[in-house]
Amino acid sequence: MNPMLLALPQEPADGIAGWAADLVDTMGGPGAGLAIALENLFPPLPSEVILPLTGFAAGQGVLSLVSALFWTTLGSVVGAVVLYWIGLLFGRERMHAIWARLPLVKVSDLERTEQWFARHGTKAVFLGRMVPIFRSLISVPAGVERMALPQFIMLTTLGSLIWNSVLVMAGYWLGDRWETVETYVGVLSKVVLAVVVVALAGYLTLRLHNRNQSQQRRSS
């Protein structure tokens, strides 16, 4: 019986950790890669569970550490490329058409965002791979803006390798306390989400205020 599975008494058999453990136990490195590819496509699957668990599995001898890092990084890149192609197929014209129908936003806002991405897209893709929530999302605008695919793959590989290495090695070193990683990264994810919500609320409040002032000036 696999010692990794014995070390998960608090996880239900159908929980994410149990599912990921089964994949790694059955398929080894490719199973870890598949789990991370799916995590990229479905962000509710948390990398802070899958990656430390894979590192723990490496520490238990279920797979080698090199295999864990290789397959999880490959899985990250595969998932990111799928999202890139979704953005590419969706296209800039559709994005503008949808944006123009949204309330409280201006086409100029989208154009400024595009200009920002044109200037800082390489940093955004590279660093975005190491930021919870944005890890997956950053691939879509890269596709919409038609970033060169070889460049996108290189930046995604480097950023993913750093993020994956930190969490896999943490699970490897922490052993049966690998769940500690989930706690800390989970807090970071909540902080990032809170910042995004506050920024969005501030943006909408400013837009409403400006629109009300415009209406008042027209009526006076």
- Burial 135-169, CB ≥16 within 10 A → b, else e: bbebbbbbbbbebeeeebbebbbebbbebbbbbbb
Q: What is the pLDDT of residue 219?
A: 66
Q: Which residues contact 128 (CB under 8 A, 6 or more apart)?
A: 134, 135, 137, 138, 159
Work out the percent of the chain whose per-residue pLDDT is above 90. 21
As given in the structure block, the two tokens for residue 46 are 């948390």
Q: How far apart are CA 60 and CA 53, in angstroms?
A: 10
E strand or H helix at 198: helix 179-219
Q: What is the pLDDT of residue 130?
A: 83
User: Contact, 35 vs 45, CB < 8 A?
Assistant: yes
Q: What is the pLDDT of residue 136?
A: 80
Q: What is the pLDDT of residue 201?
A: 64
As given in the structure block, the two tokens for residue 142 are 């890269």
Q: What is the pLDDT of residue 75?
A: 94
E strand or H helix at 49: helix 47-59
pTM of the model: 0.73
- In this structure, of 48-52, 87-91, 108-112, 207-211, the range with the lowest mean pLDDT score is 207-211
Q: Does the pLDDT of residue 6 top 60, yes or no?
A: no
Mean of the per-residue pLDDT values of the chain: 77
Domain boundaries, the chain: 3-182
Q: Does the pLDDT of residue 4 top 50, yes or no?
A: no
* pLDDT interval class at 39 (50, 70, 90): confident
